[in-house]
Amino acid sequence: MSQSGLEVAKISNKTVVAGIDVGSLYTKTVFLDGDGNVVAKNIIRSGAIYQGAAENSFAHALEQVGLERGDIGYTVGTGYGRAKVLFADKEITEITCHGRGSHWLFPEAHTIIDIGGQDTKVIWLNAEGNLRNFVMNDKCAAGTGRFLEVMAATMGLGIEQMGPLSLLSKYNVEISSLCTVFAESEIISLFAQSCALEDICAGLHRAIASRIAGMVAQVGIRERVVMSGGVAQNIGVVKTLEQRLKTSLLIPDEPQIVGALGAALIAWEISNGKQEEIKAALRSTVFDREA
């Protein structure tokens, strides 16, 4: 299996199922055919209307494969706005779906770090890929994708510039707070001290890595480790976290799509009568305390 496992195949069976992950910043859709092949995938901004984002992402995926809504055999909704996927046959929490998607991509992995738009999760999977424990920060946006967007805007950067720029840092700059308001004030103060952008970016990434390492310690690190979510596209956060955890991270080629992939895999199992897999997925939701 390739590193991403998400190459789009031609439809080999018309029994297509869907997974839709409505995140706070982005909505993602994955279609699998009857043989379990990924045949469509889509990522769009969620905006303020989650129901509309789910409809639009689903419609774009249908267009990719030339299908109608009635051709989709089963749909699972997940994510922050999963209740807004009104056409879904079932809702499954993002903890379960990220675990399922990560295990499919990297069967050797046991620890999942997912940094989304508004929250951060650390998940522990057993050898069979079933959820054993997790810790989640959903009380504030500290260290998440939204946090980094605000910090990038404060520095006059595109969010995609922060990672590569931070790798050029030569001097340590400490960021004492990951509260969005206080961190923004710190950055403005650092500007006044003529600190370089690359040093500020690196300082932000170290603060994020420290916070995540603390979450990992709560469930215990178990090799190997997958990082998913949009922040996994930030090479600066990845490298800093690898140094902090003293391990190399497995990064999907499309880390944002992992939750939608997991939802689609559960939809495929239900559609194909895989009762044992379904029961394992539902048992794992006992740990999903945010549900």
Q: What is the dihedral of CA 110, 270, 46, 68, to 10 degrees?
A: 140
Region(s) of the chain under CATH 3.30.420.40 = 1-106+257-291, 108-251
State the helix-helix crossing angle for 275-284 and 94-105, rounded to 10 degrees.
130
CA distances from 60 to 42, 50, 56, 57, 81 (A): 7, 15, 6, 5, 18
Element (H, E) at 164: helix 159-166
36: exposed, middle or buried (Cβ count in 10 Å: 0-12, 13-18, 19+): middle
Give the CATH fold of the 108-251 domain: Nucleotidyltransferase; domain 5 (3.30.420)
What is the C-alpha separation between 238 and 234, in angstroms, rounded? 6
DSSP tag of 35: T
- Torsion angle defined by CA atoms of residues 244, 245, 250 and 252, in that order, rounded to the nearest 10 degrees: -50
CB 2 within 8 A of CB 38: no
- pLDDT digit of tens for each residue in the chain (291 aa)? 334 456 665 555 558 999 999 998 899 999 999 888 999 999 999 988 999 999 999 999 999 999 998 889 999 999 989 999 999 999 999 999 999 999 999 999 999 999 988 889 999 999 888 888 999 886 666 778 888 888 899 899 998 999 999 999 999 888 877 777 778 888 888 888 888 999 999 999 998 999 899 999 998 889 899 999 989 999 999 999 999 999 999 999 999 999 999 999 999 999 887 655 555 555 544 444 333
**Does a cis peptide bond (omega within 30 degrees of 0) precede residue 206?**
no
pLDDT in tens, 120-138: 999 999 988 888 899 988 6
Q: What fold does the segment set 1-106+257-291 form as a domain?
A: Nucleotidyltransferase; domain 5 (3.30.420)
> To the nearest 5 percent, what fractions of the chain are helix, strand and coil?
45, 20, 35
